[in-house]
Amino acid sequence: MLHTHQMLQTHPSPQPQALDDVGACIGALHDCAQACTSCADACLGESDIQMLARCIRLNHDCADLCTATASVLSRPSMAAPEIWASQLQACLIACRACAEECERHAPRHEHCRVCAEACRKCEQACSDVLSTIRQ
């Protein structure tokens, strides 16, 4: 079991509605942030950096939003559902944009394929938590 799940389960505040979804989302957010950071660095190592400029930018934006979203979701004390929803929505949009851009480069760059996969998984995880918040 990930420590994320243990921390959420042992937190003294009222539990989030979907503890498993929140824990899985935090894990996906951290994984996506790492993949995006690595992908941006790998893009900088390629010979056609100019062609990858948008990809690098979206990698950085997505990594930052994923990190911030993971931090927000890791603090359930007196959580404000409207803030969680806005943060998750922004992150979902960043993941989608980054995935789409990485998928364009995936045929030539394996690191972009891997990053797109992580972004799509994170996009889905954010969507799953958003669904439970909006119920």
Q: Which domains does the chain have, with CATH numbers?
A: 18-133 (1.20.1270.360)
pLDDT tens sequence for the chain (135 residues)? 467 666 666 565 656 556 778 889 999 999 999 999 999 999 999 999 999 999 999 999 999 999 999 999 988 776 788 999 999 999 999 999 999 999 999 999 999 999 999 999 999 999 999 998 876
Rounded to whole angstroms, how far apart are CA atoms 106 and 27?
24
- pTM reported for the whole predicted model: 0.89
- b/e map 52-87, b = 16+ CB within 10 Å: beebbebbebbbebbbebbebbbebeebeeeebeeb
Give the whole-angstrom CA distance, residue 96 versus residue 10: 32
Under 8 Å between Cβ of 116 and 102: yes
